[in-house]
Structure 1
Amino acid sequence: MSDDGHTLQPLYGGARVLATIALSVATFMNVLDSTIANVSIPAISGDLGVSTSQGTWVITSFGVANAIAVPLTGWLALRFGQVRLFLWSTLAFVLASLACGLAHSLETLISFRVLQGAVAGPMIPMSQALLLACFPREKSAMALALWSMTTLVAPVLGPILGGWLSDNYSWPWIFWINVPVGLLAAWLSARVLRGRESPTRRLPIDSVGLTLLMLWVGALQVMLDKGKELDWFASGEIVALAIVAVVGFIAFLIWELTEEHPIVDLSLFARRNFWTGVLAISLGFGVFFGSVVLMPLWLQQFMGYTATLAGLVTAPIGILALLLSPIVGRTLPHLDPRPIASFAFVVFASTACMRADFTTGADVATIVLPQLLQGAAMATFFIPLTALTLSGLPPARIPAAAGLSNFVRITAGAFGASLAPTLWDDRAKLHHAQLSEHLSLFDTSTREALQGLHASGLDAQQALALLERQLNVQAYMLAANDVFLLSAVLFVLLIGVVWLARPVRGGINIGGGEH
């Protein structure tokens, strides 16, 4: 039931299948694009004649624009209509992707990536809202399960597909691949969602709120992306960005909470299950995403894996997620989501503990096993917590709620992606210093190791360099163990956050009004 009393009937049969495919394909394309460029930065930088550090702005520019646009989804949906907003966003994303592939300079590519990130913002929350409207209320958990499957697989496939396209074709294809996929999603959506437009209202533009949002989110995203490169708060630039982000955020909160027509509906946080669900899913995603970033770095830098092999070794996380998501979707309406989400955090913690026991001699099977098991956590993490977050909301508020919750989750993921490698480096320096204390020419084992290296044909300088390399490998292995162990502790603590939510009895009720 919308604000004007208009009710949309669920879709059935082939129409619902086509709607699910169209919305899922668009979501898959969007999420894929957030990670597909990561492994292609060296190729892009080399082709455009810029340094790798300059090339990383291809990722940063998309992330900043996307983070700003996502929380605007609710206001845009009320202003232009949910179906219209989704179709416009998808088609604009296709055009921006085409333009990115045609760019011949870094400045042009960054400009089109900003456009691509901005128009991509409403796509994920709108696909979530539209898919929920296509299913009967009692099957809303299944709708979330089908939607979640695409968001779980795309980040895993992104680096693999990006590396393969860059190696076998050229980097523009990581953008051009979106063109046929996006056109198909838009065409199917236009056909199956015809006549299902939501009511619109001519809302005034909250220009002050929008400006403040762009200011603090932009500063925060650039700070997180460039923090490690600039040595965090040892850099005046990072300190300035942090001040702008904090002051801008406080001003944004004050303005939005007192504005009659805010650009972001912060009143949603007055709902206990909304803020609890958002807190649990965001913090959990941030810790999880830290390990997603860390694993390929460790495998490639210290275990000798190629980018493609590192991607294949981490890919099994999607297997159980795909198999279990439909089962979770079928059973969730009859269960309290809190025990299911708690189970997810237990599995997350267990797999993190398994990684905390890794050694430099770990074989592929040892590395793959926790990746495979973590898929069970993914299936029981996203679906119940998303359902808990949206429970009891009327259809008209779902776009705003989905946009706001996705924004907080994406921001938490950015924190995890920035802080995990920094913590890893800091712990590695500590372990390197501790291990170095045992390396001395007066130490018998050190002398024996050097004599063995000399006997193999290495001169003194080469032997010391190799010994230093082995020391570094061990230091970063121990540091990775520390990060994974900390992740396990945080996952266990997050179980308590889940139980702050009110119990949802009689199944999840999405689109059923306030309660």
Structure 2
Amino acid sequence: MADATSTRSPATVEAAAVSERIPPRRLFAFLIMVFGMFMSILDIQVVSASLSEIQAGLSASSSEVSWVQTAYLIAEVIAIPLSGFLSRAFGTRLLFAISASGFTIASFLCGLASTIEQMILWRALQGFLGAGMIPTVFASAYTVFPRSKFYIVGPIIGLVATLAPTIGPTVGGYITDAMSWHWLFFINIIPGIAITVGVLALVDFDSPNFALLQRFDWWGLIFMAGFLGSLEYVLEEGPLYEWLQDTSVATCAAICAVSAIAFFYRVLTAQEPIVDIRTFADRNFGIGCLISFCVGIGLYGLTYMYPRYLAEVRGYSALMIGETMFVSGITMFLTAPIVGRLMLRIDMRLIIATGLIIFAAGSYQMTWITRDYDFYELLLPQILRGIGMMLAMVPTNTIALGTLPPDRVKNASGLFNLTRNLGGAVGLAVINQVLNDRTDLHIARLHDRVTWGNATATETLNMLAQRLQGMGDSALMALKQLSQIVHRQAVVMGYGDAFFMLTLFYVCLSLMVMLLKKPASASTEPAAH
């Protein structure tokens, strides 16, 4: 029997080839949108290395300045799932332009803020408006371009989604060191204007359906905001205030539980639900979201742990932390095109599993951490982290969204991105709790061992006392220094425990990949009609 492809006429083959080409205008428009998404995700972490400067500039307390981050995250996590409905109603072009312009105006207002209350308000607005750009780019990548080009667009959005939060502290450190914290926000203005104009001029992916706005489910939005907003608050503040022992955390937990019940009832019964959670019934999408949730734990968790260790134990400045963290960013950038090529040749499930195991290997390298770990000791773990993250993230995006019917991708993209952000929030809460509990445990154990009967402890105390002679009560000062040494060692041991926990978690997660259905190859040619 002759091969089917050999019976196709030259005209049919040429028409198929033309349909597979990406028009330069469309590709350029997509890249503009990708840069907007990069700005939005970058701003989650860009202030993290400069919170002390913002605190000083606005005369805020440490608890108040933490809301510069929390307000952005709460607003973003509410807006991301909402974007699916809004992109169908307004269309990609109009929604993205509104998001980009609103994000730019909010950034300008953040830079002008003179009080902490103003900053928190404008950061919440910035997070809410900017969030619309993230799932819109994901949806466009898997609906606008032919399936055979997913190996190109998949790594682009995967790189941005992982690279932006990773290099956020680096960028923030450089900007604050070179200029001032105000420029963390002012730097968004010119790119934001260019993105808005470029999207309005070039994007023509779809058409708006304004009739959907007449059926907008306001109750669904209220319940979703109560559910996700209070959940984010509980996860952010819980580890700091002993969870339900704090009145505000307990109140938000109650609001979260009631709102969650109301929200799920509403989206399952409304004529036009604000979020279509039935998409989770698709096996690859549901498991892909679960993997994305777990990858978010590592993505945001390690972006938090490394800078905290370098600041708390090594005493690094924001700039020094940024320079050390940049290794993972470079690794991700170099790995992205390789992942795209691998997706053409290797089962994507195998790539995801390999990435998760490499990520676990990078975390395992850090279980031996000491207070002397510096740039070179962190080099290999960060390289492994960057490679593992890209290998796990990019094929997961494609399996979860690239196998869905095009009419379901817009809504699904919001849910998919929400799971990654929620994974990050849960990861930070768990990591903070582990660090606090294990540090306290190690302090207690070390105090039991550091006694007068311990020759090493006595020798160290005598050496410190001799060094401090002539500076007041040398014995008391030596005892304080020994206590600080014990505390620092307990902190480092806590970090080792947290890294070991992540190692076990990602080794186990790699087994979950077997539950995914084998997707068609990214290079599969569409059938001719």
What's the TM-score bracket when you normalise by the shorter of the two chains?
Answer: over 0.9
Cross-structure match for 1:159 = 169
- Flag the 1:116–1:504 CA change in 2: closer, same or farther, 3 A: same
Question: Does residue 250 of structure 1 match 2:250?
Answer: no
Cross-structure match for 2:140 = 130
Contact kept in structure 2, 1:157 and 1:315, CA below 8 Å: yes
TM superposition shift of 1:236: 2.3
Which residue identity is paired with 2:511?
G
Question: Does residue 210 of structure 1 match 2:225?
Answer: no
TM superposition shift of 1:282: 0.8
Q: C-alpha offsets along residues 27-75 of structure 1, whole Å, 9 cap, x if unaligned?
A: 1111111111122222222222221210111111111111000001111
Structure 2 distance, partners of 1:301, 1:75, is: 43
The structure 1 residue matched to 2:516, chosen from 489, 494, 501, is: 501
Matched residue pairs, number?
A: 504
TM superposition shift of 1:17: 4.3
Structure 2 distance, partners of 1:239, 1:309, is: 38
Cross-structure match for 2:38 = 28
Give the TM-score normalised by structure 1: 0.93
Q: C-alpha offsets along residues 197-237 of structure 1, whole Å, 9 cap, x if unaligned?
A: 33525220111111100111111111122222322222122
Structure 2 distance, partners of 1:503, 1:50, is: 53
Unmatched tracts of structure 1, length 5 or more: 1-7
Aligned-partner SS, 1:315? helix
Cross-structure match for 1:397 = 408
Q: Which moved more, 1:171-180 or 1:126-135?
A: 126-135
- Flag the 1:81–1:342 CA change in 2: closer, same or farther, 3 A: same
Contact kept in structure 2, 1:73 and 1:403, CA below 8 Å: yes
Cross-structure match for 1:5 = none
Which residue identity is paired with 2:329?
G
Contact kept in structure 2, 1:32 and 1:155, CA below 8 Å: yes
Structure 1 distance, partners of 2:109, 2:151, is: 37
- Flag the 1:78–1:9 CA change in 2: closer, same or farther, 3 A: farther
The structure 1 residue matched to 2:184, chosen from 174, 184, 199, is: 174
Instruction: Show the 5 A alignment for 1:39-188.
Output: 39-188=49-198
Contact kept in structure 2, 1:393 and 1:511, CA below 8 Å: no
Q: Which moved more, 1:130-139 or 1:265-274?
A: 130-139
TM superposition shift of 1:13: 5.2
Q: Which moved more, 1:383-392 or 1:150-159?
A: 150-159
TM superposition shift of 1:410: 0.3
Contact kept in structure 2, 1:391 and 1:510, CA below 8 Å: no
- Flag the 1:132–1:392 CA change in 2: closer, same or farther, 3 A: closer
- Flag the 1:31–1:9 CA change in 2: closer, same or farther, 3 A: farther
Contact kept in structure 1, 2:170 and 2:325, CA below 8 Å: no
Contact kept in structure 2, 1:388 and 1:508, CA below 8 Å: no
Q: Which moved more, 1:407-416 or 1:297-306?
A: 297-306
Structure 2 distance, partners of 1:361, 1:346, is: 26
Cross-structure match for 2:497 = 482
TM superposition shift of 1:476: 1.1
Question: Does residue 198 of structure 1 match 2:213?
Answer: no
The structure 1 residue matched to 2:238, chosen from 216, 221, 227, is: 227
Aligned-partner SS, 2:239? coil
Structure 2 distance, partners of 1:168, 1:335, is: 45
Structure 1 distance, partners of 2:99, 2:312, is: 38
Cross-structure match for 1:15 = 25
Unmatched tracts of structure 2, length 5 or more: 1-17
**Greater Rg, structure 1 or structure 2?**
2
Aligned-partner SS, 2:211? coil
Q: C-alpha offsets along residues 308-338 of structure 1, whole Å, 9 cap, x if unaligned?
A: 2122212211222111211222331443211
Structure 1 distance, partners of 2:199, 2:38, is: 14
Aligned-partner SS, 1:308? helix
Structure 2 distance, partners of 1:364, 1:199, is: 50
TM superposition shift of 1:173: 0.9
Structure 1 distance, partners of 2:264, 2:374, is: 50
Question: Does residue 455 of structure 1 match 2:466?
Answer: yes
Contact kept in structure 2, 1:393 and 1:510, CA below 8 Å: no
- Flag the 1:9–1:85 CA change in 2: closer, same or farther, 3 A: farther
TM superposition shift of 1:16: 4.2
Q: C-alpha offsets along residues 407-440 of structure 1, whole Å, 9 cap, x if unaligned?
A: 1110110111222122111101101111111111
Instruction: Show the 5 A alignment for 1:334-483.
Output: 334-458=345-469, 459-483=474-498
Question: Does residue 306 of structure 1 match 2:334?
Answer: no
TM superposition shift of 1:262: 0.4
Cross-structure match for 1:294 = 305
Q: Which moved more, 1:497-506 or 1:195-204?
A: 195-204
Which residue identity is paired with 1:155?
P
TM superposition shift of 1:394: 2.5
- Flag the 1:206–1:511 CA change in 2: closer, same or farther, 3 A: farther
Aligned-partner SS, 1:228? helix
Structure 2 distance, partners of 1:300, 1:509, is: 49
Contact kept in structure 1, 2:43 and 2:168, CA below 8 Å: yes
Structure 2 distance, partners of 1:212, 1:136, is: 37
Q: C-alpha offsets along residues 111-131 of structure 1, whole Å, 9 cap, x if unaligned?
A: 211211111121011112223
TM superposition shift of 1:10: 6.9
Of all paired residues, the percent bearing the same amino acid is 30
Q: C-alpha offsets along residues 174-214 of structure 1, whole Å, 9 cap, x if unaligned?
A: 11111111122222223322x43335252201111111001
Contact kept in structure 1, 2:452 and 2:458, CA below 8 Å: yes
Structure 2 distance, partners of 1:509, 1:408, is: 28
Contact kept in structure 2, 1:391 and 1:508, CA below 8 Å: no
- Flag the 1:511–1:269 CA change in 2: closer, same or farther, 3 A: farther
- Flag the 1:297–1:51 CA change in 2: closer, same or farther, 3 A: same
Q: C-alpha offsets along residues 463-505 of structure 1, whole Å, 9 cap, x if unaligned?
A: 0111111111111111111111110100011112221111113
